[in-house]
Chain A
């Protein structure tokens, strides 16, 4: 019986010794006896990956196509009227996209075209007829169909305009040689062509629309990120 008490006492004392010992242990002495050290603290600023688009809104002009009486020089006609921001052939690229930060990519996608203000209209969805067919164009000759529209972008270096979809994908016009790879300060001038739908609901009365194009700064792949971290170490 006495032995049991002794064992229990040892367990309790051992437990207390281990836990209290951790709290009162002195730190290890410096490796070289008498050396001293001073901790230096400092701050580093947050690093960012940014994309800046200038200007933030552009005129879509040079209206073409459509069938009389649904054709005009001052507004998009039907079916499949077009307008342009800049002119690829004449070298007019009014939108400037600037990337900053560590290496990455510039992606681009289009949003729905929405009627402005209180105007009544069903949103138009971006479609494509080649490349990334996130939403296939359902009109004649692979043109936008009912409530669809097509956005294409171009740059001075691109051989032809490229279709943009609702999916965020590499903007091959940002750097035609080398894909959409971007590093600090890289910039590109781009323009846009828009093609409207083949038809819209008869109830839609909107005559003023806003289309959206959004450029995104995207990091390198996870492998590249890990490689950079290892290099920093």
Chain B
């Protein structure tokens, strides 16, 4: 009796739940995610230099395979110059991702020779837009996610260049010193030999074994 009453009470709730849940489960969603942490250059970049930035992780949080496009835009507020989109090269500007799958895309910063020094701030934006053709009278909805892109440009040539110049100069100096030492040794030993030959050629020995010029 109690069981029948319980079933009678639960049945409408279960039916209502099923009616609500089935259309929800059937609905397609579009979802895009990007790494929460900023893409940040640990050191500094110099005009005319190309630097590999940490890769950016992108995820498809929707229910269908998605074509996700990467771009650079300024959305976030904060100090710093806007990063020109042409400075950032993605390993793959468009990635195809299955639902709930993620990928890390390499990012390269190419700073032109005439770049102004200072802090730069923009966002890397991953945009997923329903690529399937929408039926007539539809509005297509898209999802996107952004993460900060932060780096600093300082004037002057790249640090690697100067360090290589310094190393090369040091080696050249050492080689010169070594050469100079060799030359000096050779010269000194050569002078002695000549002196000895002169002595042998023009001198005569006396009875006591001494030498006379």
Please give the residue numbers on chain A whose beta carbons come within 8 Å of chain B beta carbons, in ascending order: 1, 4-5, 8-9, 11-12, 15, 46-61, 75, 83, 85, 95, 98, 100-102, 107, 111, 116-117, 168, 192, 194, 207-223, 225
Contact with A along B166-201 (1 / 0, CB 8 A): 000010001001101100110010000000000000
A208-B137 contact, Cβ under 8 Å, with A51-B143, A53-B143, A56-B29? yes
Q: Is the CB of A222 within 8 A of B150?
A: yes
Q: Which of A98, A107, A208, A218 has the most CB of B within 10 A?
A: A218
Q: Is the CB of B136 within 8 A of A55?
A: no
Q: Is the CB of A210 within 8 A of B140?
A: yes
Q: Report the separation of the CA atoms of residues A230 and B130 in the bound assembly, to the nearest whole angstrom.
A: 39
CB-defined contacts of B33 to chain A, threshold 8 Å: 48-51, 100-101, 217
Q: Which of B144-170 contact A (CB under 8 A)?
A: 144-148, 150, 170
The contact of B78 among A9, A207, A223, by CB within 8 Å, is A223
Q: Report the separation of the CA atoms of residues A81 and B32 in the bound assembly, to the nearest whole angstrom.
A: 33
Question: A123: shortest Cβ distance to chain B, in Å?
Answer: 14
The contact of A214 among B36, B134, B141, B180, by CB within 8 Å, is B141
CB-defined contacts of A11 to chain B, threshold 8 Å: 174, 177
Q: Is the CB of B138 within 8 A of A5?
A: no
Closest to A190 in B: B141
Q: Number of contacting residues on B, CB 8 A?
A: 57
Q: Is the CB of B138 within 8 A of A58?
A: yes
Closest to B79 in A: A222
The contact of A49 among B62, B147, B181, by CB within 8 Å, is B147
Q: Is the CB of B37 within 8 A of A47?
A: yes
Q: Is the CB of B180 within 8 A of A222?
A: no
CB-defined contacts of A61 to chain B, threshold 8 Å: 137
Looking at B1-9, B11-19, B119-127, B202-210, the stretch in contact with chain A turns out to be B119-127
CB-defined contacts of B139 to chain A, threshold 8 Å: 57-58, 60, 85, 192, 194, 210-213
Looking at B45-53, B69-77, B85-93, B105-113, the stretch in contact with chain A turns out to be B69-77
Does B142 lie at the interface of the complex (its beta carbon under 8 Å from any beta carbon of A)?
yes
Q: Is the CB of A215 within 8 A of B130?
A: no
Closest to B171 in A: A15
Closest to A102 in B: B36
The contact of B125 among A194, A212, A216, by CB within 8 Å, is A216
Q: Is the CB of B146 within 8 A of A219?
A: yes
Does B129 lie at the interface of the complex (its beta carbon under 8 Å from any beta carbon of A)?
yes
Q: Which of B36, B62, B80, B129 has the most CB of A within 10 A?
A: B36
Q: Is the CB of A5 within 8 A of B181?
A: yes
The contact of B134 among A57, A95, A221, by CB within 8 Å, is A57
CB-defined contacts of A53 to chain B, threshold 8 Å: 29-31, 141-143
Does B102 lie at the interface of the complex (its beta carbon under 8 Å from any beta carbon of A)?
yes
> Across chains A and B, which 8 residue pairs bring their CB atoms closest together, nearest first?
A222-B78, A50-B33, A52-B31, A214-B142, A208-B136, A48-B33, A54-B29, A216-B144
Q: Is the CB of B136 within 8 A of A116?
A: yes
Q: Report the separation of the CA atoms of residues A54 and B31 in the bound assembly, to the nearest whole angstrom.
A: 9
Q: Is the CB of A56 within 8 A of B130?
A: yes
Q: Is the CB of A217 within 8 A of B38?
A: no
The contact of B27 among A15, A54, A98, A117, by CB within 8 Å, is A54
Q: Is the CB of B27 within 8 A of A48?
A: no
Does B133 lie at the interface of the complex (its beta carbon under 8 Å from any beta carbon of A)?
yes
Q: Is the CB of B146 within 8 A of A59?
A: no
Q: Report the separation of the CA atoms of residues A211 and B139 in the bound assembly, to the nearest whole angstrom.
A: 5
Q: Is the CB of B137 within 8 A of A75?
A: yes
